[in-house]
Every structure is written in C-alpha cells, then in structure tokens.
A and B are shown apart, each in its own frame.
Chain A
Amino acid sequence: MAGTVPMTSVQTSAQASPATTEAAWVKWLLIAAAGLALLWLIVLPLLIVITEALKKGWDVYVAALADPDALSALKLTLIVALVTVPLNTVFGIAAAWAITKFKFRGKGALITLIDLPFAVSPVIGGLIFVLVFGANGWFGPWLSDHDIKIIYAVPGIILATLFVTFPFVARELIPLMEDQGTQEEEAAVTLGARGWHVFTRVTLPNIKWGLLYGMILCNARAMGEFGAVSVVSGHIRGQTNTLPLHVEILYNEYQFSASFAVASLLLLLALVTLLIKSWLSWKNAH
C-alpha cells in the first residue's frame, strides 16, 4: 500500500505564541526520542547494508556486482521497469482524466478498484497469474500446446509487477487533477484547441511534477518487488532472476557479502528515489 500518501511538502516554521509551545527541555527530549526511533528503525538497517557489503573488501564487492548472474539480474530488472512503468503511466493518465474531468456513475467504485492492488498481499499478486497462466491454470493447456511460456518466464514477471505497481501513477494524479478542476481545459477548448493539444499544452504542464513523482514511486516498486515476482519467477539463474531475487538466492547460499553487495545497489535505488522525491516536493512548494 505504499504511495497512498499524497505529495505533501513539509515546510512549517513552528512559530506560535509561547503559550502553545512546550518548555525547551520537553521539546529537546521529544526531538531526541524521535531521533532515536529514526536511528533504530531506519538508519541502522540502512548502515548495515553498506557495512556488510564492504565487509570483505572492495574486491569482493566489485566481483559480486560484476558476476554474470548479477548482471543478468540487473538487466532483467531494468527491462521489467522499462515495460511496466510506461504502461501504468499511460493508464494512470487516462484514468485520472476520465475520473477528474467528467462526472459519471460508479466513479467511487472505480477509484476503489484502482486501489485494490495496494490492499492485496504481493504473494496473492503472483498467485493469481499462476492460476490464470500456470500449467494447471485457465490458459495453461492452450499455452503449452502453443509452446508459450508465461509463468516461470519473463512475461509472468512483467504481469505480476504490472499488478503490484498498478495504482501508483493514478493515485498521485487523481487528487492533483481534482484540485485543478476543468476551467483551464474548458477555456482552451472554447478557444478552439483540439483534444490532444488540450492535454499536452494545458493539463500536462500543470501535473508534470505530480506525474513524475508517481512514476518514480512506480519505478522503485517495479525494480524492488519481491513477493509477487518470487511466485512467478521460478528462480532460474541468468534467466528469470531479478535483483531482489538474486539477493535472496545469494543470502540463502550464505554468500552474505555478495548478497549485501547486490542489496546495496537496490539501497542506492531507494536513496536516489527519496532524493528525487524530496526535490519534487521542494519544487512543488515553490
């Protein structure tokens, strides 16, 4: 259910009359307690990935990343993101346009259905595609007759990833476009602009940062998804292994340094995502 939280910028200055602030010692005590909670819950897990990855030295680290299996996992992860992010972006824009620019019956139900994948366990997100395309599934016999592999192959991984990252862009755009209303677009139409132009010239400039925000969240999840992909992948090294699955395989083989080296790549992805996110919120606030 990540990403259910709208883009908010946190730019408050806590300036209030002394009557509604705490004594200085209370304030610093609370800040220290919150800082400790952050250190314990979030900073330590972050630091241990880096120290474990570099524990056996730089050479082992580089070797783990240059390993052919790691490289093919990286390649597959990039392919999956390159396919799923654009598809879910197009859907997000179309759904947000229909939902926010028009009134129709069943709109509330449609919004709830779009949220559905966030509520469903990722393991179920993988299982359902096994039930549809697996050997015993709905299309299983037909697929095997035509020699098409979906489960335990790349198409299955893409489908499962599409499912779990489905709501990200739509969720970000719907509240944003709702706030902006329809007046600017209606004015453009009145002045003679045609469909596609209305979108690219009027709507897109207004939503571009929110759109980008939804896309980077979608991308982070697409590259990092584990549970759903684990069900449909079959864990074939060099073929159906994504980076998160490679972390698991190395870990279960007690190759901890190599496992954490690959994990550090994914940590880097997370940190870059957070950096862009902060930049976008800052941009949005100014």
Chain B
Amino acid sequence: MSQVNAARRRVLPGFGLTLGYSVLYLSLVVLIPLSALLLNSTGLSWEKFWHVATDPRVLASYKISFLTSAAAALIDSALGLLIAWVLVRYEFPGKRLFDALIDLPFALPTAVAGVALTALYSQNGWIGSLLEPLGIKVAFTQLGITIALMFIGIPFVVRTVQPVLQDAERDAEEAAATLGAKRFRTFRTIILPELIPPLLTGFALAFARGIGEYGSVVFISGNMPMKTEIAPLLIMSKLEQFDYAGAAAVAILLLLISFLLLLVINSLQRWTRRSVR
C-alpha cells in the first residue's frame, strides 16, 4: 500500500501547490476569522460570559430557536418522505417540474423567502386571511418562525431520502409480497427501516440549518424578546447596540451547538452511505 502511495505521489504533479494553497486560503477566509470569536477578541470575561449566557432573554431565544427548528425539521421529515416517495416510485405529469421546484429554497435568497412568507401569512394575506376567522395567528408568532424554517429545511430531507430510496433493492419487498404481506406492512417492516438513516440525516441537516437561520425568519417573527426572538437575531440586536462582548457570548454558544451538530451529521451521513451499499 505504501509503495502505491509513494508511486502516486511521484506520478501526479501539484500536491504541494494545491494542498498549500487550500490550507492557506482556508486559514485566511475561515479559520483565522472564526478564531477571533473563540480566542476572545472582545475581552469577554468568564463572569460576563456566564452573565450573558444565563440571561433570561438569551435563554428564551435559545429555547425558541430549538423548539421551532425541531418542530420544523420534524414536519419536514414527514413531508419530505412523502415527496421523495412520490418522486421515486411514481410517474405522473409534471414530475420533472415538481422535482426541480424542491430546490427552490436552496436557490432563493432568504430575504425574499422572508418577505414572501410574511405577505402570505399576515392578517390580510392569502393564507393569513383564511386562518384569521379560525383564531390562528401565524405572522409574528412561533408558528410563523416554524413555517419559515419548514420552507428552508424541506429540500434537505427530500434530497437525502431520494437517492437512498432510488438505490433500494426491490427484492426484499417482492419477497415480502410473495409471502403474503400486505403492502402497508411491507412498507413498515422492510422499507421504513432502510430509510431511518437518511431520514435522521435529513432531520439533522434541516435542524442545523434552522438553528442558524436568519433571513427568512426575521420578517415573519416580529422579533419580540422572550416571545419570537431567535438566537441569531439576538446576536444582531446586541451588535446594533455595540455590545460586542454580549454578541460574542451568544455567538460562541451557538457556534458550539453547530459544531456538535456537524459531528452528529457527519456520522449520520457515514451511516447512510453504509446502509446504501
């Protein structure tokens, strides 16, 4: 093996140049700026950090971020499974357009999503005016935040479940059917277990995106402290008051959560790839 490595390293050119450039550019654009946050450039003391981190308004913002992101990712998992299933297993008119539109939340600037959703769900909007008589308020509530995060998260679930469903062997399904299993039972006992890894990955990706999301939420949330203020928004408002240490404290917590989620997602993705094989 080491002989192969040595040979390969000799044969192809550009290793030092490309690796060196990659590491340099990565350091300049990502690592050094991120370290400014972690190396405590604002002179944040431990007491101040603790004070900010346990402030009721900060705690409330984390709670809101967690709850709305989890709810959105959960609903997205169910809808995403349905959409992936329909796209992989059935033929119907307009399927290619349907498939292409799933990626709209990836391509649409978040601010546009934000103003569009607010217009839809405000009191006299297309959907808001239908819900108003029922006493359901969406705009400027946590429900509104959840809907915005659902919009942002749905492609993550569809695009992780879809390829797994596509590659799934139909043998076991056929065997189950031959043995007399009803279709729903086959789905529950044969197909669904195979889809658990990609569903969890999709959930985690949508959740992680939701925790950090800003643009699509800021318009529909109304940004009321303790009620509809999410963590990224709190960073923004602390910055606007020139409270750099406070903003950094909230950001460090958010960053640690993101790192943890990244590790979870990486191992989930390895699990998904294994289950595909």
B residues near A94, Cβ cutoff 8 Å: 17-18, 21-22, 25
- C-alpha spacing A121/B61, complex, angstroms: 15
A residues near B174, Cβ cutoff 8 Å: 16-17, 19-20
Query: Quick one: given A4-B205, A102-B8, A273-B107, are A120 and B31 in contact (CB under 8 Å)?
Result: no
Rounded to whole Å, the gap between the CB of A179 and the closest CB of chain B is 13
B residues near A20, Cβ cutoff 8 Å: 170, 173-174, 177, 186
B residues near A91, Cβ cutoff 8 Å: 21-22, 25-26
Considering only residues 69-126 of chain B, those with a C-beta below 8 Å from chain A are: 79, 82-83, 85-92, 96, 98-113, 115-117, 119-120, 125-126
- C-alpha spacing A21/B85, complex, angstroms: 12
Considering only residues 43-71 of chain A, those with a C-beta below 8 Å from chain B are: 43-46, 48-49, 52
- C-alpha spacing A45/B232, complex, angstroms: 23
Interface of A is mostly: helix
A residues near B134, Cβ cutoff 8 Å: none
Query: Quick one: given A1-B205, A48-B119, A124-B254, are A102 and B9 in contact (CB under 8 Å)?
Result: yes
A227 engages B244 (CB within 8 Å): no
B residues near A42, Cβ cutoff 8 Å: 101-102, 104-105, 151, 154
Considering only residues 165-191 of chain B, those with a C-beta below 8 Å from chain A are: 166, 170, 173-174, 177-178, 183, 186
Quick check: is A82 within 8 A (CB to CB) of the other chain? Answer: no
Quick check: is A86 within 8 A (CB to CB) of the other chain? Answer: no
Quick check: is B196 within 8 A (CB to CB) of the other chain? Answer: no
B residues near A226, Cβ cutoff 8 Å: 109-111, 214-215
B14 engages A97 (CB within 8 Å): yes
Quick check: is B222 within 8 A (CB to CB) of the other chain? Answer: no
Considering only residues 154-179 of chain A, those with a C-beta below 8 Å from chain B are: 159, 162-163, 166
B36 engages A131 (CB within 8 Å): yes
Query: Quick one: given A1-B156, A5-B160, A98-B22, are A119 and B261 in contact (CB under 8 Å)?
Result: yes
- C-alpha spacing A145/B242, complex, angstroms: 21
A residues near B117, Cβ cutoff 8 Å: 45
- C-alpha spacing A116/B174, complex, angstroms: 42
B115 engages A260 (CB within 8 Å): yes
Query: Quick one: given A98-B15, A130-B244, are A14 and B90 in contact (CB under 8 Å)?
Result: yes
Quick check: is B155 within 8 A (CB to CB) of the other chain? Answer: yes
Quick check: is B37 within 8 A (CB to CB) of the other chain? Answer: yes
Quick check: is A189 within 8 A (CB to CB) of the other chain? Answer: yes
- C-alpha spacing A103/B190, complex, angstroms: 39
Quick check: is A238 within 8 A (CB to CB) of the other chain? Answer: no
Of the candidates A5, A8, A26, A41, the one having the most CB atoms from chain B within 10 angstroms of its own CB is: A41
A16 engages B170 (CB within 8 Å): yes
- C-alpha spacing A116/B212, complex, angstroms: 13
Considering only residues 112-131 of chain A, those with a C-beta below 8 Å from chain B are: 112-117, 119-124, 127-131
B residues near A97, Cβ cutoff 8 Å: 14, 18
Of the A-B pairs whose beta carbons lie under 8 Å apart in the complex, a sample of 9, sorted by A's number, is A2-B155, A10-B99, A42-B102, A94-B22, A110-B23, A113-B30, A119-B261, A123-B233, A274-B101
Which residues of B are in contact with A by a Cβ distance under 8 Å? 5, 8-9, 11-15, 17-19, 21-23, 25-26, 29-34, 36-37, 41-42, 79, 82-83, 85-92, 96, 98-113, 115-117, 119-120, 125-127, 150-151, 154-156, 159-160, 162-163, 166, 170, 173-174, 177-178, 183, 186, 205, 208-209, 211-215, 219, 231-233, 235-236, 239, 244, 247-248, 251, 254-255, 258-259, 261-262, 265-266
Which residues of A are in contact with B by a Cβ distance under 8 Å? 1-5, 8, 10, 12-14, 16-17, 19-23, 26-27, 30-31, 33-35, 37-38, 41-46, 48-49, 52, 91, 94-95, 97-98, 101-104, 110, 112-117, 119-124, 127-132, 134, 136-138, 159, 162-163, 166, 182, 185-186, 189-190, 194-195, 198-199, 217, 220, 223-227, 230-231, 243-245, 247-248, 251, 256, 259-260, 263, 266-267, 269-271, 273-275, 277-278
